[in-house]
Chains A and B, each alone.
Chain A
Amino acid sequence: MPDKRRKRGTGGMKQAIRIAILGAFLLFASGCAAPKEDGIVLRVANWEEYIDEGDWDKEDEIVLGDGTSVMGVNPMVEDFTRWYQETYGEKVTVEYSTFGTNEDLYNQLAIGDRFDVVCPSEYMIMKLMAEGKVQPFSEEFFDMGTEENYYAKGVSPYIYQRLKQQKIQGCALAEYAACYMWGTLGFVYNPDRITKEEASDWNLLRSRKFYKQITVKDSVRDCYFAAAGMLHQKEVSSEKFRNAADYPERLSEKLNDASPETISRIEQLLTEVKENSYSFETDSGKSDLVTQKVSANLQWSGDAVYSMEQAAEDGVTLKYAVPDSCTNLWFDGWCLLREGIEGDREKQHAAEAFVNFLSRPDNVIRNMNYIGYTSAVAGGEDDLVYQYAEWCYGADEEQKDTVEYPLGYFFSGNPQDKRYIMTAEKEQSDGELFSQYPPEDVLKRSVVMAYFDAVTNKRINRMWTNVRCFDIKNLIPW
């Protein structure tokens, strides 16, 4: 017996040493993970490369018509902490992280990551709203009288209106999300191979004329919308449908239809698209267009701007077209997460200030210039953002081939506003200007894609795997 006890004794000693070593290791690790902070800690999650990171070269400086200079010296996040300290006299530390897809963000939240302010796309915001995970912005945030409320003062009246119409369980999206970037869905195409008319038709995706020449985004929602466009385009383009009083509602209802019959028809269409297209791309669409491996690519307008810029550098001309029948109006917006903020007023204030800082006209220009997407902020009284649009796309005085491009609907809410009719190069009206600021009639035919409930979502995902999977029937011939 005593012998045994001694053995256990030494065993205990060893155990103790092991535990001590492990403990020391854990202590060290936790010491690294949690540095001491004072002031407010704001946890921000945003898309990759979706904010100005500063460090511009001298030649990147933007000098606008009225002589204002815009330049990104420091990363936007750093500028924000400095601005917050100066304006409100409080220290804020931003923990900035990025995500790759809306689903990644959702998965991160599901496994318990905590953020205060995040920037998902419209359908994910609606999903988070329906699940009660986001909270509305405060009333102060929408107070136009406060100097620092750049979002409330500057957001485009048109975009704000669309956000107000979008309702989830009776709550308007506009109260829960501050729109950051927005755009349309369409085709970037090579005008040497495809005409504008061909690219203005959803059926381009299954046209035998362009067999294995078109890439499609590897994304269920965008493909679903494109196929729904194919399915309904004849009907929704008819005079009768267009002139109906409740045209916007009916259009939205048609394109967001996800009944089992529609899903199975969309599955057939997408299978045709799969057979006909070059590939479903995740990241290669832009470069394949520039290297001319493909002739067109289903893309978001923001990426289209980037593709066209890149292609121009390589001496290739690309254009952007939105199908005549209908398109998807998408946007990414900042929203406040309930589980992150936890009712902390100071934190909410900092989060709202962050959104406001990003909406300050000079910062809007910095972000737009860096990302290439279109900001939802028009600038309100301040016309800096419009000056930037003119700086980008306005025609020189000696240029002959110009068009009048009215943007009043976006900048002031009045389509006829004389101040916002841009004289632009004709080239731009179906190129970068068209994709960055589409004309009003394109948006009249646009639909915000709703989020689908769990059952429908499951059906659509199953439809999507069915489309993507290799059909065993195709194996048998060989």
Chain B
Amino acid sequence: MKKIHFSRSSLGIPYGIFLVLFVVFPLLIILFYAFTDGQGRFSAENFIFFFSNGKTLGTLAYSLGIAASTTAASLLLAYPAAFILAKGRFRRRPVLLMLFILPMWINFTLRMTALKEILTVIEKNLAYYPFMNTVIGMTYDFLPFMILPVYNSIAKIDDSYAEAAMDLGAKPAQVFLKVMLPLSVPGIISGVMMVFLPAMTNYVVLDMLYNSTYIMGSLIGSYFSAYDWHNGSLISMILLAIILGFSLCSREFAGQKEERTGGIRI
């Protein structure tokens, strides 16, 4: 009897099926809905409406603002933490890293409810600072997604680079700016990617925290619950285009970085 032999490429079949069934096919449906009207005819009306309406554009701008602030805040918090974790002289580094990741293991519903109580104690009334509270909530939720990739990329940098730079007369600040930071850019980029898009759309976090800020995700939710699948799909498509453009730019950026630092690549 002949032995059943799987070639390496057939190992990809399960994922291929998954991809077609749950990614490509739904995407095509969304694309179809985005550019048709109720009768299934092609229509760009929703598209024009979105880009000519001050309210929807305002929401897009507001969401971008929230996402950018959240990303910046998480990066500012995560980078020093990840740097110390990766390069500090700790005896139990894995335990420390685990402590940072620990919040991720607790259900986010619980975390958000707790955060709401804490913020209420501090601010008395959450409704006075909608933008700030949203950024705090999002940062709290997405911080681990920033810490992990940044930590990984910093941990991979060989200590001998820093030593070499110092031997050649660089001051600590120069070592950081000219050696460590450029080498950790890939980690930063993947961290930014992991935080930016969810921060534009994850309105469930806001619902839990205090639901008055309206972001792109909420807009999609509203359209779908009002059985307006066309507008909902269109906005999903716009977000997809934004993130696609964003990731293309960052790849370009990362590519340049690698070339420039090519001299000290491992």
Contacts and interface: CB of A to CB of B under 8 A. Distances in A.
Given A279-B212, A281-B211, A282-B207, A470 B227 contact: no
A464 B222 contact: yes
B126 interface: yes
B125 to A, nearest CB: 6
B58 A469 contact: yes
Contacts of A474: 58
A106 interface: yes
Contact of A282 (B10, B57, B126, B211): B211
Given A18-B10, A293-B120, A465-B219, A470 B58 contact: yes
Interface in A242-286: 274, 277-284
A280 B225 contact: no
B219 A279 contact: no
B57 A472 contact: yes
A469 B59 contact: yes
Contacts of B117: 291
Interface residues of B, number: 35
A212 interface: yes
A461 interface: yes
A40 interface: no
Contact of B211 (A280, A458, A473): A280
Interface in B177-210: 207-208, 210
Given A464-B222, A468-B222, A469-B219, A458 B210 contact: no
A109 to B, nearest CB: 11
Interface in A1-29: 13-14, 17-18, 22
Interface in B217-235: 218-219, 222-228
Interface string A336-376: 00000000000000000000000000000000000000000
Interface in B20-47: none
Nearest to A467: B55
A205 B57 CA distance: 27
A139 interface: no
A471 B58 contact: yes
Contacts of A282: 207, 211
Contacts, number: 93
Interface in A82-124: 101, 103-104, 106-107, 110
A165 interface: no
A411 B127 CA distance: 44
Contacts of A279: 127, 210-212
B178 to A, nearest CB: 36
A94 B211 CA distance: 37
Contact of B225 (A13, A103, A458): A103
B96 interface: no
Interface string B225-259: 11110000000000000000000000000000000
A13 B1 CA distance: 13
A4 B210 CA distance: 66
A293 B116 CA distance: 10
A430 interface: no
A401 B61 CA distance: 58
A381 B183 CA distance: 83
Given A278-B127, A284-B210, A461 B226 contact: yes
B18 interface: no
Given A280-B211, A464-B222, A471 B228 contact: no
Contacts of A470: 55, 58-59, 61-62, 214
A14 B128 CA distance: 65
A469 B211 contact: no
Contacts of A473: 54, 58
B203 to A, nearest CB: 10
A218 interface: yes
A458 B46 CA distance: 13
Contacts of A220: 226
A270 B222 CA distance: 16
A473 B62 CA distance: 11
Interface string A432-476: 000000000000000000000000011001001110111111110
Contacts of B56: 465, 469
A469 B55 contact: yes
B227 A107 contact: yes
A433 B7 CA distance: 72
Most chain A CB inside 10 Å of its own CB: which residue of B7, B120, B227: B227
Contacts of A104: 225
Contacts of A464: 222, 226
Nearest to A274: B212
Contacts of B212: 274, 277-280
Given A465-B219, A465-B222, A475-B58, A103 B227 contact: yes
A475 B62 contact: yes
B55 A471 contact: yes
B266 interface: no
Contacts of A13: 2
B127 A212 contact: yes
B106 interface: no
A287 to B, nearest CB: 9
B211 A218 contact: yes
Interface of A: 13-14, 17-18, 22, 101, 103-104, 106-107, 110, 212-213, 218, 220, 274, 277-284, 291, 293, 457-458, 461, 464-466, 468-475
Interface of B: 2, 4, 7, 10, 13, 17, 54-59, 61-62, 117, 120, 125-128, 207-208, 210-212, 214, 218-219, 222-228
6 contacts: A14-B10, A18-B10, A107-B227, A212-B125, A278-B127, A291-B117
Given A279-B210, A473-B58, 9 more contacts: A103-B226, A103-B227, A107-B227, A110-B227, A279-B127, A461-B228, A469-B214, A470-B62, A471-B58
